[in-house]
Structure 1
């Protein structure tokens, strides 16, 4: 008879396989580990200590239990339940391929259907207010915060991708920053008057599963980054103490000169949202959604937006086309004299 520890031990082998062979991100692996911990507790209450003892009924009833919270944990949304089932199904598929079982008992178990929700985006005017609010703090912090928000909106990057940037990930900032043709500290209301630069600035992003992509950087974000790197970041570097975690060439720094964390970046956006009367409506992912929505509304091809967002599958990106279709319907209903 196998040891009672065999089930979590084999799960650890699967997670190691995902990390080494598949290159999944640390955040995804932590989520899967939490999901499998809850799965283990559910199976343990049923006396299952080995993967070979698990039945399809066990898996089906686990899905129902976590959806309703009847296993003693918090009830999960349909999307979180689907993620947990993805972890369970991946593990059982791994067990079959490794010869630990003769049947994949989770293969035919379906996740609960989730209502299709449109991504939340804010308007261009609200983006303007947010950026101005972020840069309203005097000194290096205001320069940093404006550059952070400008970069998130200009690239559609995830917050983890932006706080992980190093200086060498940025290219041709100075050329593109000159496109704005505006004096220091001026707003965005006027059109860009300068002739296009030969090269558009670019940022090198490392996304989920360490997948890399190059995203163009517009003139406003390039100018904000250039201002921050020249006048803001050196002041933050100077504030570094011997106890500060080494930042190396990390672009975005905290007030102690160390790397800015994801949590601190969230706080930057929350403060700016409060100042711009957008409390509770804007987070880092809202900027990503707004980036995609505004591109599609401007006529960008969905495949181009897919590449810019770093989506592996275009179907993930296509949900944004529903947003623009809804926008078209609203515009038509409001503007056409015989729409209603």
Structure 2
């Protein structure tokens, strides 16, 4: 089966990896629709905004498959109305045009943030309790896509993928910032380090999106996690070992003290308008358990890259080898 794919938000981190996979598949005809130019595939991009019905109508064709990666997701988005305009309004616009163009397949990347600070082992049936606007608006978008699918349930396919924190080469998000601190020798552990974190390697996420193109009509909701889940202590020790550094963690900052420091940075940011890599919410996220389960195994999907090898590849690319000509992607 062949696919004509509109990759909405495809100029970003996941979209670039996904486009690369599609390039090697003769069954795929792919165009990127994004408000930003693609640094990797500029010749394949149409500039447009999901907030514009006209832009979407001009670029979505009859029978296209839509993969929606577009989102406002940073902790420091301003104004806050952008979360609703892009994540919720964008979903409404995509569904409007999908109805007009006879689209019967949409893949939507949501987030585990819909669960908030979830109990360990939360799966796809977990309680929805987002703690921020990003998680709230992503869940609202899910409901909009589900309403679209329910209008023709035996004909339309909706895949909702909720990844945990995604990392990989060329990404400048929270995982990279942690790895960079460890590599520089300036890392300080906040809290006991026994909290566990689920992670997802970008190539595996892209591979699952490609795999999900084969799903039959219906609603398919999956968390995306690469196992096993590291404790922060295990993660830091593993990274130091890969870098050839002493595996001792050293001085630890109590959580209460670290959180107070984060609050101080919040105040300075509010007064000056500057962005800082330290904030109270980031300290809280760092010290929280973030462990999820997934039903993906039941689909037959096998991640192409084991998690430990993914971590090794990322560390080698970022801190050992020289890749100065590669584009970078900045995210949370």
Whether these two folds match at TM > 0.5 is no
Would you tell me which structure has more strand in proportion to its own residues?
2
- When normalised by structure 2's length, the TM-score is 0.25
Higher RCO (CA < 8 A, seq sep 6+): 2
Structure label with greater radius of gyration: 1
TM-score normalized by the length of structure 1 = 0.25
